[in-house]
């Protein structure tokens, strides 16, 4: 190992511990069990050697956004260590097969069309794919996900969501969101609260699925997300440092 990599490894290990500690304290502050929260370390655009550093520091849940970029890393690391790979970025439906082959979880299911394709390929390779449905709870236009900012209209969502729940090879596990970017993390709180209300709404109306997971919170606001019920936080920069350009 060269000197630079050694420095990275120390810095990343320290960052990881710091984030885990903040998760622990945010959970305790609101009476939650810290074990109920999984930290997904977002490794997108970081090269393999840097990803190895965070694995060496103990991370086992890794998040990636781009199917092609991640493929190489997943392939290379497979023989070294068992990791759980989480797709957190928008997936084009023509990439659905790769998702089924390489990822343990998909957080960013955002259309019926993609759901149908994931279900089909999962069936072909004989697996069940855990998925989270992605919601745009802010109304911000650039966000992926089904629109759910208007709580008066949540009833309209049930028909499509129940079709997804009924797909035999998908295991619907909960919801994911990405609030608009704020410099003050407190401003994300109402969106995390809305996602939790949406979770309760689905749990009530479509009880045949399990809605327990809430994927919310990134580097800037994961502590707030944990306070509001996140079970999966997706943290990149605060652990890995600034991202290189892809
Ligand atoms: C990049 C990304 C993250 C991590 O963002 P950071 O601010 O670096 O922690 C989390 N979730 C999604 C969907 C992302 O695309």
Contact 41, 63 (CB under 8 A): yes
Cα(53)–Cα(61) distance, rounded to whole angstroms?
Answer: 13
Contact 235, 19 (CB under 8 A): yes
Pocket test for ligand 1, best of 216, 234, 237, 238 (most atoms within 8 A of CB): 234
Angle at 105 between CA 100 and CA 111, to 5 degrees: 75
Q: 175-201 burial, b for 16+ CB within 10 Å, e for fewer?
A: bbbbbeeeeebeebbebbebbbebbeb
The per-residue pLDDT for 59 is: 97
Cα(1)–Cα(20) distance, rounded to whole angstroms?
Answer: 26
The per-residue pLDDT for 246 is: 60
| Ligand 1 geometric centre to CA of 51 (Å) | 15
Pocket test for ligand 1, best of 40, 63, 109 (most atoms within 8 A of CB): 63
DSSP3 helix / strand / coil % (the chain, rounded to 5)? 50, 15, 35
pLDDT tens per residue, range 41-80: 999 999 999 999 999 999 999 999 999 999 999 999 999 9
Closest Cα to residue 121, out of 100, 135, 102?
Answer: 100
Closest Cα to residue 102, out of 113, 112, 91, 110?
Answer: 91
Residue 107 sits at φ, ψ, to 5 deg, of -90, -20
- With a Cβ cut-off of 6 Å, ligand 1 is lined by 42, 44, 65, 88-89, 178, 218-220, 234-238
The ligand 1 atom nearest the CA atom of 238: 9
Q: Average pLDDT for consecutive 10-residue bins of the chain (246 residues)?
A: 79 98 98 98 95 96 95 93 96 95 97 98 98 95 90 98 98 97 95 98 97 98 98 98 82
The per-residue pLDDT for 1 is: 58
pTM of the model: 0.96
Q: Tell me whether residue 240 is exposed, middle or buried, using C-beta atoms within 10 angstroms of its C-beta: 0 to 12, 13 to 18, 19 or more.
A: buried
Return the domain boundaries, the chain: 3-240
| Ligand 1 geometric centre to CA of 186 (Å) | 17
| Ligand 1 geometric centre to CA of 232 (Å) | 12
Atom 13 of ligand 1 has which residue's CA nearest to it? 88
CATH number for the region 3-240 comes to 3.20.20.10
| Ligand 1 geometric centre to CA of 218 (Å) | 6
| Ligand 1 geometric centre to CA of 239 (Å) | 11
Cα(213)–Cα(136) distance, rounded to whole angstroms?
Answer: 16
The per-residue pLDDT for 117 is: 98
Contact 121, 93 (CB under 8 A): no
């Amino acid at each position: 190992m060269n000197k630079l990599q050694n420095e990275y490894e120390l810095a990343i290990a320290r960052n990881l511990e710091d984030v885990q500690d903040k998760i622990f304290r945010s959970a305790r502050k609101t009476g939650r069990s810290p074990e109920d929260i999984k930290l997904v370390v977002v490794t997108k655009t970081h090269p393999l050697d840097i990803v190895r550093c965070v694995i060496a520091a103990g991370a086992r849940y890794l998040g990636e956004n781009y199917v092609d970029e991640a493929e190489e890393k997943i392939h290379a690391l497979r023989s070294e260590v068992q990791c759980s790979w989480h797709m957190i970025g928008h997936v084009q439906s023509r990439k659905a097969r790769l998702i089924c082959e390489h990822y343990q979880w998909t957080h960013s299911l955002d259309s019926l069309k993609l759901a149908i394709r994931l279900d089909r390929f999962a069936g072909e390779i004989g697996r069940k794919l855990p998925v989270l449905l992605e919601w745009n709870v802010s109304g911000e236009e650039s966000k992926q996900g089904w629109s759910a900012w208007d709580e008066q209209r949540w009833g309209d969502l049930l028909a499509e969501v129940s079709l997804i729940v009924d797909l035999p090879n998908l295991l619907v596990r909960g919801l994911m969101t990405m609030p608009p970017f704020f410099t003050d993390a407190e401003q994300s709180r109402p969106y995390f609260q809305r996602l939790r209300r949406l979770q309760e709404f689905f749990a009530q109306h479509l009880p045949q699925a399990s809605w327990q997971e809430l994927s919310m919170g990134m580097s800037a606001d994961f502590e707030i997300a944990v306070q509001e019920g996140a079970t999966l936080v997706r943290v990149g920069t605060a652990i890995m440092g600034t991202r290189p350009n892809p």
